[in-house]
Amino acid sequence: MKRHPSLVPLSREHQRGLFLAQALKRGIPRFKDLPTTVDGKREYALSVYKALLQHHFHVEEIILFPAIRGRNIEIDTLINELLQEHQQMHTLFQTLHNTSDLETLLHELGLLLESHIRKEERQLFERVQVVIDKEQLHALGLKLES
Ligand SMILES: [Fe+2]
Ligand SMILES: [Fe+2]
């Protein structure tokens, strides 16, 4: 389903998140100028986290999720899972500073970030566009822009 305009800014950020996820996973072929060493990957992960993901998770938690919660059991279940995954990712990003197995941690973080974003795009956003009416989606879009 084509993405509703109100959700496009979040979807654009998801593209950047998927790019990071790809860079973090183990055994991925060299791509563009993405880092290939574990130290380079850690630095890249932390810079995207600080510049984008921390804020992205926060916006979803304080604007998106409250606006769509309480109308549909499947959406509510997804939101609960997504909130837990945000917490897991916050913890993993913090652990990057202090781990004895950086390679495994980066790989796990890449997998979780990828599956989280896919869940939002393929399950949450698809359902939201069916369940939430156009006016409410428009209002949500304005809140997300501000
Ligand atoms: Fe999220
Ligand atoms: Fe997201």
Tell me how far the alpha carbon of residue 113 lies from the centroid of ligand 2, in angstroms: 9
- Average pLDDT score over residue span 114-125: 98
- Section 83-108 average pLDDT: 97
The ligand whose atoms approach the alpha carbon of 144 most closely is 2
At which residue do the structure tokens 């890249």 appear?
44
Nearest ligand to the C-alpha of residue 18? 2
Q: What's the gap in Å between 40 CA and the centre of ligand 2?
A: 24
pLDDT at 29: 74
Ligand closest to the CA atom of residue 52: 2
User: Mean pLDDT across the stretch 107-127?
Assistant: 98
Weakest-pLDDT range from 25-39, 57-71, 94-108, 114-128: 25-39
Average pLDDT score over residue span 35-57: 96
The average confidence (pLDDT) of the chain is 95
- What pLDDT is attached to residue 26? 86
pLDDT level of residue 146 (50, 70, 90 thresholds) = confident
- Would you state the pLDDT for residue 27? 80
What are the residues whose beta carbon lies below 5 Å from ligand 2 (ion)?
120
Q: Is the pLDDT confidence value at 143 over 90?
A: yes
Cβ 78 vs Cβ 127: under 8 Å: yes
Q: What is the CATH number of domain 5-145?
A: 1.20.120.520
Over residues 82-110, mean pLDDT: 97
31 has a pLDDT exceeding 80:
no
The pLDDT, as a whole number, for residue 77 is 98
Compute the average pLDDT of residues 63-81: 97
Residue 143 CA, ligand 1 centroid: distance in Å = 17
Alpha-carbon Rg for the chain, nearest whole angstrom, is: 16
Measured in angstroms, how far is the CA atom of residue 76 from the centroid of ligand 2? 15
Q: H helices within the chain, ranges in order?
A: 8-24, 38-48, 54-59, 65-68, 73-95, 102-118, 126-131, 134-145
Q: Is 3 helix (H, G, I), strand (E, B) or coil?
A: coil
Is 90 exceeded by the pLDDT of residue 1? no
